[in-house]
Amino acid sequence: MADATADVTDGILPGDHWIQVPETGNNGDGDSAISDPKSSTASLTSSILDYRTIQGRTYHSERGNAQYWAANDAAQLDSMDIAHHSFTLALDGKLFSAPLKDDELKNVLDVGTGTGLWAIDFADTHPQASVVGTDVSPIQPTWIPPNLRFEIEDCTQEWTFQADLFDYTHIRFLVGSVDDWDLLFARAFAASAPGGYVESVEPSAFITSDDGTVTPTMALGQWGKLFVSGSRKFGRTFELYEKGTVRAAMEKAGFVDIKEIDMKMPLGGWESDPKRKELGLFIQLGFLRDPEGYILFLAHALGWTKDQIEVYLAHLRKELKDPKVHSYYWQKIVWGRKPAA
Ligand SMILES: C[S@@+](CC[C@H](N)C(=O)[O-])C[C@H]1O[C@@H](n2cnc3c(N)ncnc32)[C@H](O)[C@@H]1O
């Protein structure tokens, strides 16, 4: 019988554990240079450029309710760009899974757009649509398609878009950034046009394997526990996948015809199928570009020292590069439709 007191963070190892089994390795992937912070959006004020710094890495400025856990500097933005390529590969080049009538789309929203590559690709391939990408960090490029604009918006605050506007709303990788997912989808529902779709893509934080090559005490096996445990300190869940949070929030908001797909995302080129191998190599590349930018804020919240984090990351990199380790994580795509009026 399942232990009712069991928790996904059971068995988390302290930062000190990693110091006792030190690894040599190159941890120098943390280029903390800030990308060009200029933005063309009218809502940009200088305060959003007051980035916070943790151990030499920069994070979005203190702004309202926003609490985003990954860095916003050059190394992390590279990783985000590679991740966009991986997600697109996973969908065989498609940018969405909802049954959109491509040429009928007028208004499209990308919430938490990051470096904006999804929004740029979507705007390029849908020249008749007006696309807006929002984010709390001004990290978007300035050379963009004419039918795309970026705005600095905190999606956890009251939305400023008019009601019944968007034919399609895309929300990808906001895990750990949203305090109230029901409210987020209620706001997306209000902003959706009747008949419009909302689509979410969110990962599990847990890295696992089917053949026991990822064990709970490996750095990879600890990754999800660190995320869940660290994020509990600031009230943002990393258990969306495990708890079915997104689908439940869409149902509560009133979306209908909800569908979901689970995708197995390999870390490394260990699968034999050539397409899956290519996918795994890109996911691995994105991850290896900046694991520090993902984990630093959360490990810091757990009280880990810089040395502990660096040694943990050395173990993680070694495991990620080991072809005998067949690691992967799950990712869920969920979409639903606002009923026609
Ligand atoms: C992991 S990145 C994903 C970027 C993009 N959606 C993608 O999939 O390529 C998450 C992005 O969400 C943004 N973000 C975090 N909290 C946010 C908030 N409250 N409102 C708007 N954007 C937020 C971060 O600044 C970051 O750029």
pLDDT at position 28 is 35
Question: Which amino acid residue places its CA nearest to atom 15 of ligand 1?
Answer: 68
> Helices (DSSP H) in the chain: which residue ranges?
15-20, 74-90, 117-125, 181-191, 219-232, 240-243, 245-253, 274-289, 291-301, 306-321
Please, which residues have CB within 8 angstroms of residue 6's CB and are 6 or more apart in sequence? none
- For residues 39-50, give the mean pLDDT: 47
Tokens of 53: 């710094």
- Place 25 in a pLDDT band, splitting at 50, 70 and 90: very low
Please, which residues have CB within 8 angstroms of residue 28's CB and are 6 or more apart in sequence? none
In whole angstroms, what is the distance from residue 283 CA to residue 265 CA? 8
Render the burial of 187-199: b for 16+ CB within 10 Å, e for the rest. bbbbbbbeebbbb
Ligand 1 contact, 149 CB (< 6 A): no
Please, which residues have CB within 8 angstroms of residue 110's CB and are 6 or more apart in sequence? 116, 118, 119, 122, 131, 132, 133, 134, 169, 170, 171, 172
Ligand 1 contact, 67 CB (< 6 A): no
Rounded distance from Cα 237 to ligand 1 centre (Å): 15
Is 245 contained in some domain? yes
Q: Name the average pLDDT for the chain.
A: 87
- pLDDT top residue among 74 and 2: 74
pLDDT tens-digit map of 214-259 = 999 999 999 999 999 988 888 889 999 999 999 999 999 999 999 9
Task: Return the H-helix or E-strand segment holding 260.
Answer: strand 256-266
Q: How many CA atoms lie within 13 A of 200 on its CB side?
A: 26
Is 281 contained in some domain? yes
Ligand 1 contact, 80 CB (< 6 A): yes
Structural domains in the chain (count): 1
Ligand 1 contact, 290 CB (< 6 A): no
Dihedral pair phi/psi, residue 13, rounded to 5°:
-90, 145
Rounded distance from Cα 211 to ligand 1 centre (Å): 33
Q: What residue numbers bound the domain in which 312 lies?
A: 15-337
pLDDT tens-digit map of 268-325 = 999 999 999 999 999 999 999 888 888 888 888 899 998 898 999 999 999 999 999 9
Ligand 1 contact, 58 CB (< 6 A): no
Ligand 1 contact, 137 CB (< 6 A): yes
Query: Which range among 49-53, 82-86, 147-151 shows the weakest confidence by mean pLDDT?
Result: 49-53
Is 228 contained in some domain? yes
In whole angstroms, what is the distance from residue 162 CA to residue 331 CA? 31
pLDDT at position 60 is 72
pLDDT at position 69 is 64
The atom number, within ligand 1, closest to the CA of 170 reads 6
In whole angstroms, what is the distance from residue 231 CA to residue 322 CA? 28
The atom number, within ligand 1, closest to the CA of 177 reads 16
pLDDT tens-digit map of 100-117 = 998 889 999 999 999 999
pLDDT at position 297 is 84
| pLDDT above 70 coverage of the chain, percent | 86
Question: Which amino acid residue places its CA nearest to atom 13 of ligand 1?
Answer: 112
Question: Which amino acid residue places its CA nearest to atom 8 of ligand 1?
Answer: 172
- pLDDT top residue among 307 and 119: 119
Is 3 contained in some domain? no
pLDDT at position 215 is 97
Rounded distance from Cα 140 to ligand 1 centre (Å): 11
pLDDT at position 49 is 58
pLDDT at position 334 is 98
- Biggest distance spanned by C-alpha atoms of the chain: 62
Q: Is the pLDDT of residue 153 over 60?
A: yes
The sheet with strand 107-111 has its strands ordered as 148-152, 130-135, 107-111, 166-172, 192-203, 328-337, 256-266
Mutate to test the pocket of ligand 1, among 34, 57, 58, 80 (most ligand atoms within 8 A of CB): 80
Dihedral pair phi/psi, residue 332, rounded to 5°:
-115, 130
| pLDDT above 90 coverage of the chain, percent | 66
Q: Which residues pair with 203 in a beta bridge?
A: 331
pLDDT tens-digit map of 57-109 = 777 766 666 667 677 767 778 888 889 999 999 999 999 999 999 888 999 99
Is 6 contained in some domain? no
The SS3 assignment for 58 reads: strand
Dihedral pair phi/psi, residue 291, rounded to 5°:
-60, -30
Is 297 contained in some domain? yes
One-letter identity of residue 42 = A
The atom number, within ligand 1, closest to the CA of 178 reads 19
Q: Is the pLDDT of residue 18 over 90?
A: no
pLDDT tens-digit map of 206-219 = 999 999 999 999 99
- pLDDT top residue among 176 and 213: 213
Is 109 contained in some domain? yes
Rounded distance from Cα 125 to ligand 1 centre (Å): 22
Rounded distance from Cα 336 to ligand 1 centre (Å): 21
Task: Tell me the angle at which helices 306-321 and 274-289 cross, rounded to the nearest 10 degrees.
Answer: 160
Domain containing residue 171: CATH number = 3.40.50.150
Rounded distance from Cα 110 to ligand 1 centre (Å): 10
The atom number, within ligand 1, closest to the CA of 84 reads 9
pLDDT at position 39 is 32
Is 10 contained in some domain? no
Q: What is the DSSP string of 61-77?
A: PP-TT----S--SHHHH
